[in-house]
Amino acid sequence: MSSQQREKIGFIGLGRMGRPMASNLHKKGFELLVYDPNPAAVDALRQLGARAAPDIAQVARGSDIIITMVPASADVEAIVLGPDGLLAHGHAGQLILDMSTVDPATTDLIARRAAARGVCVVDAPVGRLAAHADRGESLFMVGAEKADFERVLPLLQAMGTTIFHCGKVGSGTRTKLVNNYFVVVYCQLNAEALALAQSFGLDLDKTLEVINGTSAYNGQLQLNWANKVLIGDITPGFMIDLAHKDLSLILNAANAAKVPLPVAAAAREMFTLARTTRYGKADFSAMGDFLCELAGVEKPRISRESRG
């Protein structure tokens, strides 16, 4: 076992993305101490052989590297900076690896506070979907000093297949927001375009063949949508609620940088509208179904032959 694998790893946040990532770490031989407020999530990892911590403070006391994978900026700040958090109960020489998608200001804040305690911070938000996390095929956008990047690299390699060192601390988070700007806005564009195609009565298979053969091609439509909403599956891999959260992060960061993003603002309003319906917890590709319902046209579905 390598020296990195002898380090004790804490993992906080065992949701739809965090649980398979922690599972893959355990399968690759890393010693894990896990915590989540959901006892069932913790029990699933304990059955694999991981140790369970009763609280965040215990993770801090018993780990060399602590991974956080939680939904929002406020969660990360509470976990790291709170009175019962990682910095209050940790020690110099530790490293916090935050894989959450958060406001860049949050990453900057925890990095400053951690440095004052002799603790390093690496931000490594995740690209790709939950299904990729299941298979250990995630993509990571990493912000870190060189030595810290090398320290966490074996962990990232155990959870994913594609790793980009984007620059100093905070650059991973900022890269993720740029990436998700494209990802989420493409969903809105695809929804509008396919609703228009449905209203024209076009053959959807042929229309998609044309789109995928021109510069209108986008990975969301050809890869994600073809395996989700276009075959009637809107079970969440990445929820509309979370896509809305990311658009809000993008707009907040853009406002702070004085960069106008009118397209993002318009897209967020449509995601806001979708959240008022049953679609909030659906996969974000379900924007296709939602917009067709608004337009009163048939939902887009590809043929069995196209699925093959």
Centroid of chain to Cα 125: 6
Return the structure tokens found at 229. 């909403």
Pairing of strands 126-127, 138-143: antiparallel
Q: 289 with 195: CB under 8 angstroms?
A: no
Question: Which one from 8, 28, 176, 299 is the annotated catalytic residue?
Answer: 176
Ordered DSSP codes for the chain: --HHHHS-EEEE--STTHHHHHHHHHHTT--EEEE-S-HHHHHHHHHHTPEEPSSHHHHHHT-SEEEE--SSHHHHHHHHHSTTSHHHH--TT-EEEE-S---HHHHHHHHHHHHHTT-EEEE-PEES-HHHHHTT-EEEEEE--HHHHHHHHHHHHHHEEEEEEEESTTHHHHHHHHHHHHHHHHHHHHHHHHHHHHHHT--HHHHHHHHTTSTT--HIIIIIIHHTGGGT----SSBHHHHHHHHHHHHHHHHHTT---HHHHHHHHHHHHHHTTGGGGSBGGGHHHHHHHHHT-PPP---HHHH-
Residue 95 near residue 109 (C-beta atoms within 8 A): no
* 299 in active site: no
Instruction: Give me the active site residues, please.
Output: 176
